[in-house]
Amino acid sequence: MSKCINGLRSRLTAIIGAQWGDEGKGKLVDILAEKYDFCARFNGGANAGHTIVVGGVKYAFHLLPCGILYQSCMNVIGNGVVVNIPTLFEELGQLDKNRVDYTGRLVISNRAHLVVDGLLEADAKSESDSRKKFLGTTKRGIGPTYSAKALRQGLRVGDLLHWDTFLLKYHSLNAKLREQEGIQIDTQKEINTLKEYRDILINRNMIVDTISLISNARKDGRRILAEGANATMLDIDFGTYPYVTSSSTNVGGVCTGLGVPPSAIETVIGIVKAYTTRVGEGPFPTELTNETGKYLQKTGHEFGATTGRPRRCGWLDIPILRYSIQINGHSSINLTKLDILTGLEEIKIGVNYLYNGKVIDYIPAQLEDLAQVEVEYITMKGWKQDISDCKTFSDLPIEAQNYVKKIEELLGIPVSWIGNGPQREKIILKD
């Protein structure tokens, strides 16, 4: 790993959510992207939500890499992403409205899979099926699209380049959905829509082999920022299964979702909210169901960028973060939303899990066991001062400094960035 822990000088940096998502990954990606040649999404789809405020304008990106706002940055939607084409063009409409020129700066992997209407319907049907336990998905077709990919029935972006063959594959997929799921959609309407967007994508040369593109960029010494969606505890393998997403959200997903070797990744920054949140169902050991939890939810505006669903809130969970470090090998931490803790008399940190009365050094794989863990807490003194105008670590109240230092001590890795407000400039680079 590079000695550059903050990503400012690295050739390839990965930004990875270290909790259950919604940590504020987009803000650091936005800041770093200005200094990188490429910004690349490697996993997920429109189930992700990055909200960025630049020049007083709020952008809500679900598919677009955050580097799209910088004229010097090439943006890549990698092969590990599942793409809903109409949603992509809705987001491009935000850029058109605000006169952000992205000509020649956005490409999509020809190996990325397409989210189509039948798969959206399959997702909604699965969630509403009373015979199945509610998983709390975004209903954006993500799971069914990755399922179709694994079953080798999926449609890839590159298929759009060969329209006649695409139509055969498209109708074959929809026939299977009708037969197996009873799903009926207006195929002709969707075909007309996809044909219109296909022509635009081809005319703009946006469908490319991103594997060779990124490989050649690396050979030329270009700098690449890998932008993750979702987070460690939502990973299909390592998360709180089945309350997870359907892709590889961890550092391994950078390799499989962009086609880069592990040795190319120099810096891995884990994005950590100063407290913990999660959306949807599943165990949440440090959850606060009291007034403090409501305070964090209200003050932190904890509602999903993609679904608008309220997020469950709780204290910072150190065992979860240690687990993320085990998997991702984080070089450092970007601690976000520290300002939200302002005003609390006391702040607790969950430092250990106890199972059957004994401290454990692992995250139980079975949800029945995870739901039974007790949390051992330490209590830190809070602070009252507004920290939103702090520019350096030493500007922070001593209590806030102590909170950050305690996190570093408990995790054994440094905090490199500290978020102290929603605006782009409200972030502290910690020496």
Q: Is 261 annotated as a binding residue?
A: no
337 belongs to an annotated ligand binding site = yes
Smallest Cα–Cα separation from 401: which of 380, 422, 423, 421?
A: 380
- Quickly tell me which residue has 């909210």 as its tokens: 273
**CA 89 to CA 278: how far, in whole Å?**
29
Q: Is 3 annotated as a binding residue?
A: no
Question: Annotation-wise, does 27 bind a ligand?
Answer: yes
307 has binding-site annotation: yes
Whether residue 352 is annotated as binding a ligand: the answer is: no
Catalytic residue of the set 30, 50, 62, 348: 50
- Residue 48, marked binder: yes
Q: Is residue 290 annotated as involved in ligand binding?
A: no
395 is in an annotated binding site: no
Going by the DSSP 8-state scheme, the letter that residue 311 receives in this structure is: P
- Was 143 annotated as part of a binding site? no
Phi-psi region of 205 (alpha: psi -120 to 50; beta: other; left: phi over 0): left
**Assigned token pair, 431:** 């020496």
SS3 382: coil
Report the sign of the C-alpha dihedral through residues 137, 139, 145, 151, in that order.
positive
Helix or strand holding residue 405 (H, E): helix 398-411
Q: What is the CA radius of gyration of the chain?
A: 22
Give yes or no: 149 in active site.
yes
Residue 386 is assigned to a ligand binding site: no
Per residue, the 3-state secondary structure of 100-159, as one string, reads CCCCCCEEEECCCEECCHHHHHHHHHHHHCCCCCCCCCCCCCHHHHHHHHHCCCCCEHHH
Q: Taking every pair of C-alpha atoms in the chain, what is the biggest distance, in angstroms?
A: 66
Instruction: Tell me: is residue 257 an annotated ligand-binding position.
Output: no
**Residue written as token pair 């962009």:** 258
Does residue 220 have an active-site annotation?
no
- Residue 199 annotated as binding? no
Q: Establish whether 152 is an annotated binding residue.
A: yes
State yes or no: 165 annotated in a binding site: no
Q: Is 203 annotated as a binding residue?
A: no
Q: According to the annotation, is 24 in a ligand binding site? A: yes
39 touches 227 (CB < 8 A): yes
Nearest to 352 by CA among 332, 325, 377: 377
3-state secondary structure of 336: strand
Establish whether 392 is an annotated binding residue. no
Among the listed residues 22, 117, 159, 235, the single catalytic one is 22
Q: How many alpha carbons fall within 13 Å on the CB side of residue 136?
A: 17
Q: Is 22 a catalytic residue?
A: yes
The closest alpha carbon to 46, from 111, 103, 113, belongs to: 113
Strands 427-429, 415-419: pairing is antiparallel
- Of 149, 273, 348, 430, which is the active-site residue? 149
308 labelled binding-site residue: yes
Q: From 268, 186, 257, 248, select the one nearest 16 (Cα to Cα).
A: 268
Q: Known binder of ligand: residue 420?
A: yes
Q: Which two tokens stand for residue 99?
A: 């006169």
Known binding residue 47? Answer is yes
299 marked as binding residue: no
Is 187 annotated to bind a ligand? Reply is no
382 annotated binding-site participant: no
Alpha-carbon gap, residue 250 to 231, rounded angstroms: 7
Local structure of 422: helix, strand or coil: coil
Residue 149 amino acid letter: K
Residues annotated within the binding site for GTP are 21-27, 49-51, 311, 337-339, 419-421
Catalytic machinery residues: 22, 50, 149
Residues annotated within the binding site for IMP are 22-25, 47-50, 138, 152, 230, 245, 309
Residues annotated within the binding site are 21-27, 47-51, 138, 152, 230, 245, 305-311, 337-339, 419-421
Residues annotated within the binding site for substrate are 305-311
